Amino acid sequence: MGCGSGSVPKSSAKMNTDIAAQKALDRLAKAGFEQLTDLDKILAAVWTFEAGVANRGFARYFSSSAGDMAFHVPSALRAIGAVGTAEIAAKANGVFGASGPPKDKKKRAAIVRSFDDDSRKMLQALETLFYESEENVDDLLEVYLNRKP
């Protein structure tokens, strides 16, 4: 809705974060992860992680293309100062073993389908921690983006 329709507009900083993240995702789709700048890698990884886990949980996040950047999420979250959420993401990645989740969606999804009950319970417990966290990743991402030249 536009400003004149009675809705409350987002802050310009928040809109800038939304736009920056969308542009990073557009560049990701065109060029691939390895071709992104460090800032775009952080924006894309954090944005897809937050949306993926918040909307569908870890198992579905890992089974989707959003999980293609799961390997980068803990370091991206640490970079913006979201250390608690980074720890949750690292533990979720650890359910795949020492090497973490494969970058390939089909391989990752096959592993998720084969998880035993303990692995599924671990992901569910981590989801609970994620949902209960008081760390505002969106705000931290906005602050991080606004500090960048």
The per-residue pLDDT for range 109-132, each reduced to its tens digit, is 999 999 999 999 999 999 999 999
Give the pLDDT mean for 49-56.
95
Given a contact cutoff of 8 angstroms between Cβ atoms, the answer to whether 135 and 85 are in contact is yes
Residue 42 has pLDDT above 80, yes or no: yes
Residue 95 has pLDDT above 90, yes or no: yes
Q: Give 126: exposed, middle or buried? Use CB within 10 Å, 0-12, 13-18, 19+.
A: buried
The per-residue pLDDT for range 60-79, each reduced to its tens digit, is 999 999 999 999 999 999 99
- Give the DSSP H/E element, type plus range, for residue 64: none
- Report residue 18 as tokens: 């939304």
Banded model confidence at residue 149, pLDDT cuts 50, 70, 90: low
Residue matched to tokens 């909307």 = 55
**Mean model confidence pLDDT for the chain:** 89
| Sequence-separated (6 or more) residues with CB below 8 Å from residue 48 | 25, 66, 69
| Sequence-separated (6 or more) residues with CB below 8 Å from residue 67 | 52, 61, 101, 105, 108
For the chain, the domains span 11-147
Give the pLDDT mean for 30-44.
95
Residue 34 has pLDDT above 50, yes or no: yes
CA pseudo-torsion sign 108, 109, 110, 111:
positive
- Give the DSSP H/E element, type plus range, for residue 114: none
Residue 137 has pLDDT above 50, yes or no: yes
Q: How many CB atoms lie within 10 A of CB 148?
A: 9
Q: What is d(CA 119, CA 3) in angstroms, rounded to the nearest whole number?
A: 47
Q: What is the pLDDT of residue 7?
A: 33
Percentage above 70 pLDDT, the chain: 89
